């Protein structure tokens, strides 16, 4: 209880300090000048006391300057389509998520302690701490998976447009630029490829584009980038490769659609069977759950 009282007093003191700091900043006569210069001068956002405490305790998890997984975070940002503009914004969001999970875990652990379940309280708190640490990365991986699915569908459109342009005699780089205007994850990657090829070597441009694939193991996307590299490096014809990839992606999309339709039919059949069983149980339940009432009715008739 003494430790809990200490944590409560510390939390109240931090809250009071933050409120006084916000109150002072709001009524500072020089606050208006700082607001006016906010957009025109470089500004480093001040961390709250809680954020500074988390960064001091877990710098490898929340501090962009000392994070051990910076390369993994940058890779996730690229694969997910940059839901956060910078790694710093990602770590700030990670602090917010962890704070929410820690607050919920603390409240539930306190409720367990109040119910004399002291053994379950620390276990529950540790579970929420673990979930709070993993939540930002799980969300980024889910966004990357959704983007990979959208890229597969958009790839069929992009390859169709690209194949039509190449068939009409348009140059490869110009065809890539025109196809990128269609929009979508795959066409945006084409725009990235063209933009990087204008400022650096095509090999480096292909590698940068490959790093932005939402699914690094996507066979068709990697084959397309390899064919682009072979065209510029070895002058290999690309139209036949694009047409072959278009047919492969079309078959893949059809197979995924059929699998999804089969799953929907399976679930619909299961729900139909459960609905029929529920209807049958609703019909026979009055006769099976009240045998005394049925017997009473029969004896009355006798």
Residue 140: name the closest of 107, 190, 68, 91 by CA: 91
User: In this predicted structure, which of 51-55, 138-142, 173-177, 202-206 has the lowest mean pLDDT?
Assistant: 51-55
User: What is the percent of the chain with per-residue pLDDT over 90, rounded to a whole number?
Assistant: 21
**Mean pLDDT of the 235-246 span:** 87
Domain ranges across the chain: 149-253
**127-154 average pLDDT score:** 90
Q: What is the pLDDT of residue 22?
A: 56
Average pLDDT over residues 254-258: 82
The yes-or-no verdict on residue 53 having pLDDT over 80 is no
Widest CA span of the chain, in angstroms? 100
What H or E segment, with its residue span, contains residue 44?
none
Mean pLDDT of the chain: 80
CA-CA distance, 45 to 22, in Å (whole number)? 14
pLDDT digits (tens, 9 = 90+) for 144-165: 999 998 998 899 899 999 999 9
pTM higher than 0.85? no
Tell me the two tokens of residue 139. 């969300």
Supply the pLDDT for residue 36: 39
pLDDT in tens, 90-99: 988 888 888 8
Closest CA to 153 of 261, 249, 258, 264: 249
**106 vs 274: CA distance, rounded Å:** 40
Spatial neighbors of 107 by CB under 8 A, at least 6 apart, are none
Closest CA to 34 of 49, 24, 19: 24
């Amino acid at each position: 209880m003494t430790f809990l009282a200490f944590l409560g007093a510390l939390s109240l003191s931090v809250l009071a300090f933050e409120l006084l700091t916000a109150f002072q900043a709001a009524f500072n006569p020089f606050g208006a000048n700082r607001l006016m210069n906010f957009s025109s001068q470089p500004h480093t956002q001040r961390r709250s006391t809680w954020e500074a405490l988390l960064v001091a305790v877990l710098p490898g998890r929340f501090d962009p300057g000392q994070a051990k997984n910076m390369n993994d975070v940058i890779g996730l940002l690229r694969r997910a389509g940059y839901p956060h503009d910078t790694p710093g914004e990602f770590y700030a969001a990670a602090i917010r998520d962890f704070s929410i999970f820690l607050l919920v875990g603390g409240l539930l652990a306190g409720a367990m302690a109040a119910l004399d379940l002291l053994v379950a309280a620390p276990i529950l708190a540790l579970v929420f701490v673990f979930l709070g640490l993993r939540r930002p990365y799980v969300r980024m991986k889910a966004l990357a998976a959704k983007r990979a699915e959208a890229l597969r569908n958009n790839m069929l459109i992009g390859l169709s447009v690209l194949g039509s342009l190449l068939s009409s005699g348009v140059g490869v780089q110009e065809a890539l630029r025109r196809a990128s205007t269609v929009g979508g994850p795959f066409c945006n990657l084409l725009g990235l490829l063209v933009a990087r090829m204008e400022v650096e070597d095509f090999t480096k441009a292909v590698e940068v584009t490959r790093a932005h694939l939402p699914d690094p193991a996507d066979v068709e996307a990697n084959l397309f980038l390899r064919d682009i590299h072979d065209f510029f490096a070895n002058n290999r014809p690309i139209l036949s490769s694009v047409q072959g990839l278009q047919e492969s992606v079309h078959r893949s999309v059809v197979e995924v659609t059929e699998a999804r339709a089969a799953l929907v039919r399976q679930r619909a059949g299961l729900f139909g069977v459960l609905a029929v069983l529920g209807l049958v149980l609703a019909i026979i339940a009055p006769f099976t759950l009240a045998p005394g009432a049925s017997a009473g009715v029969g004896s009355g008739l006798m």
